[in-house]
Chain A
Amino acid sequence: MKELSLNILDVTKNSVTAGADTIRITLETSPDGMLVFSLEDNGCGMSEEVVRRVTDPFYTTRTTRKVGMGLPLLKLAAEQTGGYLKIESSTEAGKSGTTLSAAFDTKSIDFMPLGDIVSTICVLISGSPDIRFVFKDITPDGTVFLDTSELKAVLGDGISLGEPEIIAWIRDYLTEQYKERKGNLQK
């Protein structure tokens, strides 16, 4: 993967497949340059056995396609910067779900740039307009935030978040927030 935002798109699709109705994507960069990406879903979760093996690229079998290259690639991207990947999961009825966090040292020469995270979020929402996505990108310069439940509240039931006009609005909404934050940085 050429950009971290592509890894994020890829692994977030696991949460979609797990049947989650709420998915939280958080990026948090600390002043010392450590970036933590966390993904929290309320999907079906994984057994301890599966959690132990999901980062093994050879665990998957082509026929079941239950697990793929997504997590091994994310783990590699994190570890090659001196970071880590942690996965916690529960299959307990009523509180099932998975929380994943990946830490990156953005100062490392092996850190893949975040890239076009706005496109990643737009693609996720257009692919699964009924899932609630909560996205936060927190840095010392400010926070970019989107909660699709707020948009749903405005749009009502009649209009899908996946409509191209709505996706275009979301793209502009996020892009503006990033521009504003960049403005803060320059001040």
Chain B
Amino acid sequence: MKKRYALMLCLACKTGYASEEVNESDYYQELPVVLSASRLSQPLSDAPNAMTVIDRKMIVASGFRTIADLMKLVPGMYVSYYRGSQPIVAYHGTTDEFSRRMQVLIDGRSVYMPPTGTVSWADLPITVDDIERIEVIRGPAAASYGANSTQGVISIITRDAGSMDGKSVTYRHGDKGINDAEARFGKRGDTYDYRMTLAYTADNGYDSLTSLPNGYTMATFKAPGLLNNSNDSNQARMLNYRGDYHPNGIDRYDIQFGFNHDVQGVGFNDKNPSIYNSYMGTNGDPFHDLIGNSDYAQLGWTRQLDHGAELSLRYSHSRLDQYEAFPVYLAGVYFPGPVVQSLQSSRDEIELQHTLPLNDSNRLVYGAGYQVDRAGGQSAMPPVSQYYSSSYVYSEYRAFAHDEWHITPKWLLNLGGMFEKDDLGQFNTSPRVALNYHVTPGQTLRAGVSVAYRASSTAETSYPLLQPGALIIPAPVMNSPGLQPEKLVSREIGYIGEFPEWATSVDLRLYSDQLSNGIYLSSTARSFVNGMTGEYHGFEATVKHEFDQDNSLTVNFAHAWAASNGVLLAASGQKIMVSADPSNSDILAASIPGNSASALYMVRLPHDYSFSASGYYQAAMQPFDRGAIDYQPAERRIDVRIAKALAVSAGVKGSVALVLQNLLNQAYTEYIASNLFNRRGYVMLTLDW
């Protein structure tokens, strides 16, 4: 009896244990669909476009502090700065200081803002450390992303709400006033995850030019003030929050908001009110601060439907308000002024999308969206007794559909289109067709044709004749009401090869793009008009190789050339189309760097060390809208980063890193001759707990 009791007791305790022990419910339980269609990025070999992905590892290894600089790792991308805090990111060479032919998205929210249709990178409320990865579509993708994506799309995906469970602080300190402090914390829960960033970033932009550029003499250099011309410091204070509420396995709510208060130095020394500058007209832009406040809120809802289908709804609100005040010097008379300008811009956007697998080999994504852009500005110019304010509201509807059809395991057809209708009466259809042929499972050939439009920006339809300062305040009355959208027709052939036996992948692309109805500033009409035509051709290559699991190399190369009707336009009196490059009379052709390349090598070393080195090359070019003095010579730059991971104490980890940019001090200038970049370095400390 006693023995049996003991046995039964034991069984009882076993039974009690069994509830925690593995049983069949572990094997057969239902689980929520986590990696749903919208979570999974399309593999390169199935994509209808050429695409470059910059992931977290590359972001860290590059040592770059700004999102714009990361674009140097994309083949064929031109990255430069008008000022130290105003990047120009453009594909196919430069346009002007407001590069506006790229669509830029953060978690699906477009961040190019009215009235100029450009991205104010310094005012974005995220840092590079908030980014999980960046997907860059090279070539137009208007069929999926709408107007403004005529050259390509930069899609920034921020880190998931659930990407961290704990706290982290980072501090960077270095040359040129580099001073960044970031604190982030996050929590993962059963139904709610969140993360939050508080950051302060600061630097003093470019180095000062202390000798004359490009062999110019002081006599030809009309403005001695061009030396030491940089007033391009930047300080940003920001906050961003991302929450993810997933109450069940079906619904997911994405909650985001953020804020950035940015103070950037603007203006030029040669436009300072001073006795040297009596030649100066009314276009005064002395050293002063440009103050920006930007914020955003975004709400997303995604619902998993049966058979892999998915419904998603996204609403976002973005706002950017900027302000500047400065004195001017006018026809030899100093006006304490001040000239005061302010600009308010905002965008509200709502989009509904349905992802519908029709069968195992065919998936349809379609949806519709509506957006309202507002731009208002005030300009008070006492020296010229000019005062005006302007206000514009534009709304736009769009509908889109994209079908991905695996006709056979070897043939994939991507067919899509976007239909857009705006208040100005423009109705555009941007179709795209791409055919991918999987020669073998690891090798793909792709051929595609697409059409994209870029709607004119408010700054173009309502171009202000007087532009003191850094802001473009749209004129109160539209002066180019009939401006048509620019049109780009792109044709491309691509090859993607995976060679697992050599741990190597290859991505090649040949393209030919035709621009028509190009918008330019007419020297005769003093307003924006259509009439520029151009063509871009090029070849791009990316090769990745993994020497072993801790040791990899990525190399990008691009060769491009262009032609336009610039010579004809120049001959017809369009002074703006006169090429400043004596060796090339075609202004568009001269503005394209023929060859460019970048390489990134990463290695993990013993004892928790890691090392990376990157190199960048860009051939000489003449920035599109700059004078001969700003001719941009060939640019070579090597950056290195060395880091060591530390186990500070139980539960506290950290790392220390040293980044040296332009290691060999091969000083170069970009976009403006006074934008000089010498060797600089910073150290970075991180603690995680």
Partners in one complex: no
Report A's interface with B, CB cutoff 8 A.
none
Report B's interface with A, CB cutoff 8 A.
none
